[in-house]
Structure 1
Amino acid sequence: MTSTAMLTDHYELTMLQASLESGAASRRSVFELFARRLPGGRRYGVVAGIGRVLDAIERFRFGPEELEWLRAHQVVDETTLDFLASYRFSGDVWGYPEGETYFPHSPVLVVESSFAEAVLLETLVLSILNHDSAIASAASRMIVAAGDRPCIEMGSRRTHEEAAVACARAAYVAGFATTSNLEAGRRHGIPTAGTSAHSFTLLHDTETDAFRAQIRSLGRGTTLLVDTYDVAEAVALGVELAGPELGAVRLDSGDLGVLAQQVRTQLDSLGATGTRIVVTSDLDEYAIAALAAAPVDSYGVGTQLVTGSGHPTCGFVYKLVAHQDDSGRWVDVAKKSKDKESLGGRKHALRRVVDGVAEAEVIAVGAPPAAAHDDAPITTGERLLLVPLVRGGETVSAEPLERARARRARSVAELPMRGRQLQKGDPAIPVELPHQRA
C-alpha cells in the first residue's frame, strides 16, 4: 500500500506539533470543504474525486520511510513523530456523493474528528477535489453542449501522467463515453478508444499505404485521420479502400464546421452514409456548441478538458467551523478576513425541488437529518445532499463510477434551463444560507 501521508503541506505538521504542545490537538473538531463562488461565472459545479479521496484517506499512513525523512529534515519534534507513527484516521466524513452538482457555500465535504486527525487531511482532500471537480465541471458543460453526441477524452499528453488518469475518471463521471488513456481503463474500468495519429500516415511512403495498413490491421470499421494532406482526397481514398463500411473519419484541423459539411456530402455521395465524422482540435464547450448544426457524430476533447476549460481549480477551501472546548461544549468558529469570510457551525444541505425542477440549495447549521440518502428522483420536496462516507475511520460509501455517472446526469437535468446555459451568469439556483433565514 503506497502511503499518501506526504502529499501534504509542511504547515499541517507544524500546526499538529503546536496543538499537541498546547493540548488542543485532541479537541473534537469539524472542518468543511466548500467554494465561496463558482469560477468564471459558471452556473453550477460537479463533484468528482470522492472515491479517490476515500482511497487516499485509507492510505494516509506514516511508515518508517516517511518518519525517517521527517526526522532527518527536522520538520517536527519526536513527540509529533510518535503521534504520526500511530496515525489512523478514526473520525467521520460526510460529503456530496460523486456526480452531484454543487453551488457557492455547498458543504461538499464535512470532516469530524480530533483536530489533529482532521487538520492533516486538508491538503490531500483539497488537491484531489479541486482538481477532479474542476475537470468534471468543465466536462459536464461539454456534455450538455454536445447533446446526444458522444465525447471522447483524449487529453493525456497535455497534463501530468497521473493527473491524466484522474482527468479521464472525472470526465467519465461527467458523461464522457471513452478515454484514450489505457491506465484509466485498467484502473477504473473506463472504456478506451484510439486509432492513429498523423505520424502513422507520415511514416508510410503514401497515404494509400498508411490507410491500407490500418484497415488491414484494424478492420473496415476503423477511424481514418483524413487531414494530413488533402481532406477530400483522403476521404475518397478511405472509402475506396474500406468501402461504405468505413467506420469513421477524423478531422483535426481547419474550419471544422465547414469541413464536416463538405465531408458529409462527399461521404454520402460515395455511398458511405453510415461513416461517422469525428472532430478534434482544441475543442471546448463553446466550440462544441458552435458545431451543433454541423453533421458531426462525436467530439474528441483534450487540452481544454484537462485544464478545466480555463478554470483548472474550483477554489475549494477547507475551514474549521466548529470545535469542542475543554468542557466538551461545541463552539462555532468562523474566519472573518475581508473577502474570505466563512460561516461558522457545522452544516447540512438540502436541494429543494418543485415539479422535478431544482429551486434552491438550502444550507442549515446542525447535524444532517438521520434519513438515508436516496438517489431516486424527487418530483417535489427536499432531498438530502450529504451522505455518510466514513464512520469511525471505516469507509461506508464506496460505489461504482456508473452510479456517479448516472447521478450527474440526473442532477444536471434537474436544474432549471437557465442553469445549463454556457453564458456567464448567476448560479443556476439560489443558495439559502443560515444568516439569510435568521
Structure 2
Amino acid sequence: MNTADLGLPVDVPSTALFTDHYELTMLQAALKAGTADRRSVFEVFTRRLPEGRRYGVVAGTGRVLDAVENFRFDADVLGFLRERDVVNEETLEWLAAYRFSGDVWGYPEGEVYFPGSPIMRVEGSFAECVLLETVILSILNHDSAIAAAASRMASAAGDRPLIEMGARRTHELAAVAASRAAYVGGFATTSDLAAGFRYGIPTVGTSAHAFTLLHDNERDAFQAQVDSLGRNTTLLVDTYDVTEAVRTAVEVAGPELGAVRIDSGDLLLVAHRVRQQLDELGAVDTKIVVTSDLDEYAIASLAAAPVDAYGVGTQLVTGSGHPTCSMVYKLVARAESADTKAPLVPVAKKSSGGKTSIGGRKWAARRVDDDGVAEAEVIGTGPVPAELADRQLLVELVKGGEVVAREPLDVVRDRHAGARGNLPLSATQLSRGEAVIPTEYVHLRSGS
C-alpha cells in the first residue's frame, strides 16, 4: 500500500502528521509519568445524530485501516518535530520505533449506527492508541457524513442510478474520499478519475457546456461528440434552447441516442417536455439525466418525473447540510498499572452540557422483531444476553497490529443496502425526526 492509495500527495511519506499537536505532548507527559504503557480502550461514538437524520452510516473504515498501517514517524517527520521543538528527544526516539501493535474492533463498513453506538474500539497501550485519535476521527467523521447523505439520496432515487460529480466543489483529496463514501451509500458511478483509479469505482462523463460553446453551433458540437463517442453518448441540451437542442440531438444521433442531460431550469417541467419530445421524435429509448444542485429533497420531488438518472455534486460532498457526524474518540477504560495483567477500570468524562460519557469496554447488538426488522440498538458491558449473542455488531479489524478485515468496496456497498433495508420503513422518510430505533443500555455505569 502506497500513499497514492490513501488519497495522499505522493510526497507525503506517512499518515503520522495527520494528528493534533497535543496528541504528542500528551504522549511525552505520559512517558515521563510512567503511565504511557497502561493498557487502554478508546471508543468512537457520537452522542447524537445530525438534526433530522434517522440513522448514520459507517464509512471510511477501509481508509482508517490504511491510515493505521501507514502511521510511521520516518526521518523527515521526526526532523520536522525536532525543528519545531514539538516534543523532546526521548519522545522522538520512542516515535521512531512506533508501530501500532494493538487491536481494533468496529462496526463493519457500510453498517448503520445510532447515538451511542461504539462504532470503533481501539485497544493497546495508551501511548500507541492516543496518537491515532485525530486521523481516525478525521476519516470517519468525513466519510460517514458523505455516506449518510448518499444513502438518503439513494433512498429518494429508488431504482434510478446516481452519479457522484462533486470533485470541483471540495478539496481535491476530499473529493476522492467523498466519491468512495458516496459509492458505499448507494451511488453507482463517479466523475472523479482519481476515485476510479484508487478504488475501482466506475467512472462516467461526456461533455460540458464549454464543449458546445467551443463550436460554431450546437449541431457541430453534437456531431463532433457523436463522431467521437458514438450514438449512445449523452448530449447536454440546455446550453441554448432546450427544445431546439433535443431536436438537433436526435437528428444528429438518430433514435439510438443514449441520453440527454438537463442542467438547469425547472427540472420537473423540463423533463416532462423533453420526454414527450423525444418520444414524438422516435427516440423512445433515449434516457434523461438531470443535474443542477440536487439534494435528497430535490431528487424526491422528481420521483414522478420521467428521469432516468441523477448527477449530484455540491450537496453530496458537503454532507447535504451536515458535513460531519460529530463523532468523538474517548478513553473508556484503562489498566490500573502498566502490568499487562492489571485489570481494566472503566473511566469516562463527567461534565455538564451534554458531554457526559459512559465508561467501560462495550459490546453492541441490534435487536430485531419477528420479521427481521431492527427495533433497538442495544449497548452494554459485561456478558452479552443470550438472545443477542448472534446479533453482535463489532467485528475484529486489526489484531496485534495486523489488518485482518480488508474488504472489496462492492461488499461494503451491498452491506449498506442490506442494513438500510432492515430498518423500519420510516428510516427512509426525509421529514425531520429522531433516530429510527432507540438506543438501549444494559449493565452500564457513568464514569467520573
Counterpart in 1 of 2:86? 75
Give 1:40 deviation, angstroms. Answer: 1.7
Give 1:368 deviation, angstroms. Answer: 7.4
Among 266, 270, 276, the alignment partner of 1:255 is 266
Counterpart in 1 of 2:122? 111
Counterpart in 1 of 2:365? 350
Query: Aligned partners of 1:57 and 1:216: how far apart in 2?
Result: 48
> Which deviations, in whole Å up to 9, do the C-alpha atoms of 1:366-424 show, x marking residues without a partner?
4879x9xxxxxx9x995221000000000000010011011000000000011221111
User: Cα–Cα, structure 1 residues 367 and 280, in superposed 2: closer, same or farther, change >3 Å?
Assistant: farther
Query: Aligned partners of 1:214 and 1:302: how far apart in 2?
Result: 24
**Paired residue secondary structure (1:24):** coil
CA contact (8 A) 1:368 1:386 kept: no
> Which deviations, in whole Å up to 9, do the C-alpha atoms of 1:79-116 show, x marking residues without a partner?
11011000000000000111000000100000000000
Verify: 1:337 aligned to 2:351, yes or no: yes
Verify: 1:417 aligned to 2:396, yes or no: no
Counterpart in 2 of 1:49? 60
Verify: 1:287 aligned to 2:303, yes or no: no
**Paired residue secondary structure (2:359):** coil
Verify: 1:391 aligned to 2:399, yes or no: yes
Letter in 2 for 1:349: A
User: Cα–Cα, structure 1 residues 433 and 142, in superposed 2: closer, same or farther, change >3 Å?
Assistant: same
Q: Name whichever of 287-296 and 328-337 sits farther off.
A: 328-337
CA contact (8 A) 2:38 2:125 kept: yes
1:358-373 paired onto structure 2 within 5 Å: 358-366=374-382
Give 1:353 deviation, angstroms. Answer: 1.4
Q: Name whichever of 274-283 and 326-335 sits farther off.
A: 326-335
User: Cα–Cα, structure 1 residues 207 and 393, in superposed 2: closer, same or farther, change >3 Å?
Assistant: same
Where has structure 1 moved over 4 Å in runs of 4 or more?
Answer: 435-438
Give 1:436 deviation, angstroms. Answer: 7.8
CA contact (8 A) 1:353 1:382 kept: no
Query: Aligned partners of 2:423 and 2:444: how far apart in 1?
Result: 22
Give 1:30 deviation, angstroms. Answer: 0.2
Query: Aligned partners of 2:411 and 2:275: how far apart in 1?
Result: 36
Query: Aligned partners of 2:382 and 2:31: how far apart in 1?
Result: 28
Give 1:329 deviation, angstroms. Answer: 2.1
Counterpart in 2 of 1:268? 279
**Paired residue secondary structure (2:254):** helix
> Which deviations, in whole Å up to 9, do the C-alpha atoms of 1:239-275 show, x marking residues without a partner?
0110100000000000000000000000000000000
Give 1:317 deviation, angstroms. Answer: 0.3
What is the aligned length?
430
Letter in 2 for 1:336: K
Query: Aligned partners of 2:243 and 2:259: how far apart in 1?
Result: 14
Query: Aligned partners of 1:31 and 1:335: how far apart in 2?
Result: 12
Query: Aligned partners of 1:29 and 1:421: how far apart in 2?
Result: 40
**Paired residue secondary structure (1:245):** coil
Verify: 1:149 aligned to 2:160, yes or no: yes
TM-score, normalising length: structure 2? 0.94
User: Cα–Cα, structure 1 residues 107 and 329, in superposed 2: closer, same or farther, change >3 Å?
Assistant: same
**Paired residue secondary structure (2:79):** helix
CA contact (8 A) 1:363 1:432 kept: yes
Query: Aligned partners of 1:368 and 1:184: how far apart in 2?
Result: 40
Query: Aligned partners of 1:215 and 1:435: how far apart in 2?
Result: 66
Q: Name whichever of 334-343 and 271-280 sits farther off.
A: 334-343
**Paired residue secondary structure (2:210):** helix
CA contact (8 A) 1:420 1:428 kept: no
> What is the root-mean-square deviation of aligned Cα atoms in Å?
1.7
Query: Aligned partners of 1:21 and 1:247: how far apart in 2?
Result: 68
CA contact (8 A) 2:104 2:122 kept: yes
Give 1:10 deviation, angstroms. Answer: 0.1
**Paired residue secondary structure (1:43):** coil
Query: Aligned partners of 1:52 and 1:436: how far apart in 2?
Result: 31
Counterpart in 1 of 2:8? none
Counterpart in 1 of 2:333? 322
Query: Aligned partners of 1:435 and 1:316: how far apart in 2?
Result: 23
Letter in 2 for 1:335: K
Give unpaired runs (5+ residues) of structure 1: 372-377
TM-score, normalising length: structure 1? 0.96
CA contact (8 A) 2:333 2:361 kept: yes
CA contact (8 A) 1:352 1:359 kept: yes
CA contact (8 A) 1:158 1:302 kept: yes
